[in-house]
Structure formats: C-alpha cells, structure tokens
Structure 1
Amino acid sequence: MGILIEGANFASKFLRGNGITLQKVRDEIFKMRGKPDMYFFSPEHPPLTEAAQTTLDWAIDEKLKSGENGEITTSHLLLGLWKQEESPGHQILVALGFNDDKAKELRSFISEPTFEGDS
C-alpha cells in the first residue's frame, strides 16, 4: 500500500498502469485479513513484519549485486515483495493480476541505463 499511497514513484505508476490501485489492494486486504483494528505507532519507526524485512533485505542485496550506483527504489521494493511468495503482499498482487511476466517487465525497465528510479 505504501508504494501506491506515495503515488508519484515509478512502481506505483507501473501498478496503476496494470490495473492495481490502492482501493483494490485495500479490498483484497479486507478479504484476506478482515478489517484491521486500529493501532498507533511512531511514523518514524513503523513496525516491520518478517516478510517486510525480508523484502527490504532482498531489494538491498539485488541493488548491491547489480553494481549500479544510486538509490534503492520502490521498484526494487516491489520486486522484493514479489519474491516473498508466502507473504500477504505477494498473494494480493497475484489476486490483482500481477504475475511473473509483469515482474520481468518491471525488472527490464529498472535495468535500463537510462532508468532514473523515483525521480
């Protein structure tokens, strides 16, 4: 949801271009998990689930392996989420039509030398 909420990043545009919207993601979360209880946490230190931490670690590793300079983008995070097949995020993406072909398409965009990430 965070990728879509920000809205101006490449990954959110890619998702919306493939019919995956914030409202559709919210609807899928409610179907899978029910309506969540409200809880509060510091916006500076939100809690990370194990799947979220694994996604972040994957994105960092992939960026380092690529040898490219620059930041880890929301696109790297989206691909990291896609790799976590048991995670709710991956399951939501599947339910909304994201697949390996879409992941390959996204990977090809971010591996282009002219890709500027989220700028």
Structure 2
Amino acid sequence: MIERRKFERVKMDCEILYPTIIYNNENKTFFDENIKLHVCDVSETGICLKSNFFIPKDSFLSFYFRIEDNIPFKVLVKIIWTKCENGEYTAGSEFIALKSEEMLILRNFVEKHKKMEE
C-alpha cells in the first residue's frame, strides 16, 4: 500500500473530554461520561479518532487537546473520512487554523515519538 500522507503520524493514546460536533449549523457538546472519544494517532496536520458515537464526514469537531505536559489548547478539526467496525467509529481529520506555537508542540511530539517507534 502506498502512503499518501505528507506528514508522518505517530501513535497516541489520549482521551478527549467534552467534544463539540459542529454540523449543519448546529453545535452539540457531549457531557455524558458514557461518550468516549480517543486519539489513535496524530501528525502535524491531522488526527485519527476512535469513538463510540457517530461523527459525520464533513462535520467539524472542537475540543481541548493536551499533549504531554503542555497546557491544553483548543483545536478545531474537519472530519475527512469515517468508518464503523463492530460498533466503534473511526474518523480521520485535519487540523484547522492552529497557532504557530501549537504546531510546534505537535511537531516536537511527532519527532520525539517517531524516533521511539523506530
């Protein structure tokens, strides 16, 4: 299989709390503790998420993202693709309008963990 991504992804296991889905001009924030959203992997430009709820393609997802010991920052991602397997949803997304310092945090995380995965 040919890798089409420009930026390398690294594995990440991180739970996202209280995400907000923005779709068809409606916002829905999930406060229910039974709602699960986890990061599978991350790159400088995108993030793969697993959830127990459906996230529509072309929707936007907003949440606070904490990378290691850094201060959490608010991100907005656009959902590019989704799939469902055994009741679990996976979604690939792109970051929208990150600040330069947030991009640097992501880049440093990816570089550090890329070396650890080799």
TM-score (norm 2): 0.29
Q: Which has the higher helix share?
A: 1
Larger strand proportion of the pair: 2
Give the structure, 1 or 2, with the largest relative contact order (CA under 8 Å, sep 6 or more): 1
TM-score, with structure 1 as normaliser: 0.29
